[in-house]
Amino acid sequence: MLLNMSYLLLYFYRESLSWGLDKLDCATLETQYVSVHKIGFRCGLYQKRHLIFFKILMYIIIHLQCFLNAIVQCLSHTRGLRDYCLLKAYLQDKHSNQEPVLMNEFSKVLAALWECDSGDSKVNPGKFYRIFKEAVPYFSGYSQQDAQEFLRFLLDRLHTEINRRPSQRPAVIPNKEPTYSRFRISEEAFAMWQKHLDRDDSKIVDLFSGQLHSSLHCSICSHYSDTFDVFCDLSLPVPKKSEYGRIVTLKECLDLFSQEEKLDKENSPMCDRCNRRTESTKRLTIQKFPRILVIHLNRFTMSRYSICKSSVTVSFPLTGLDLGPFGPVDCGPVLYNLYAVCNHSGTVNMGHYTAVCREEEGWCCYNDSCVSTIQEEKLQSNQAYVLFYELKSCSVHRK
């Protein structure tokens, strides 16, 4: 379990800046708090005031890391990644001679989570988070962070440390063939995927990476332009609440993601054959399905003056999510089962992240240090933010 979080007034945080505590990480602060607590009974009023603020500030900092706690719990239930970390297989897998500092600390956190002998044990991810912030300064400070952004940055940094390919990338040889010459889609997609693996190949790629196919159709010459991009999660739009309060389904979100989009001349790229901007249509499909499918329900949208959060309930299947209809035209059923959910409660400015993960005996809710069982029918809520699915079966038929 991870350390407990509490909602606390930021007044205490501002008050504590006068002590120079704004640069302390969670682990350091906790150590200093324990040290002060031991001599607290001998302190005068001024020292006791420091002791109180030490304790409050520690809880504030830890609470603002709830996004980390929730994502780490979800990743710790990703069996392929967890076993890979616990066995330290990355030490033989990686190409670089540099020490995988972040991966080492991440593995220690997972090991502590899964090797606890007592249900009252707590795991402090402070050192892991400090090392992560050194690698990704964007997360420095104690402001609230987005769980999906943290997941993306974390997987990218872990991949960089354990990449099986050398850091010096091979030169890209330009294709001398006309870009409008047609290949069989599957062959072109495979070639692009192999080119990606020549540069980026790791356990992170094995588990989380898939391939998107973007098809652009010119309205003038009817030329199809195909591009292929690697993804580690699918960020899906959430429809506005429908009439009569009907619950939105995950399939509706996927339909919105993959629906044909009309582009006018100003927003359309150059047609390879016409060599000019024309009205066109664009469509996204999944060309290669990942073993671990991460679905981000994009609840936060930016308006002209503010950021708004959607509270629409999205119904999602726990088993048998079929992405086959969103794959190639010759694709059969592609089934996924849910194993973890990262929830976000609250508002844009004051929110809290929790995780719900599938265990052998059922589902458990991880709310920082509090762990409780949860009924399967209660998983569906308007707080679902990031869904974690694992591939059950895939039938891709090639003609």
Positions marked active-site:
66, 352
Residue pointed to by tokens 């007044």: 11
Number of helical H runs and strand E runs in the chain = 12, 16
Residue pointed to by tokens 């440390």: 161
Q: Which two tokens stand for residue 257?
A: 């993601």
> What are the E-state strand segments in the chain?
210-218, 224-231, 234-237, 248-249, 261-263, 280-288, 292-298, 300-302, 307-309, 314-315, 321-322, 331-346, 351-359, 362-367, 370-374, 384-396
- CA dist 309 and 313 (Å) reads 12
CB 391 within 8 A of CB 28: no
**CB proximity list for 22: less than 8 A, separation 6 or greater:** 16, 142
CB 385 within 8 A of CB 343: yes
Q: Which two tokens stand for residue 169?
A: 């990338």
Judged on CB neighbours under 10 Å (0-12, 13-18, 19+), 315 is middle
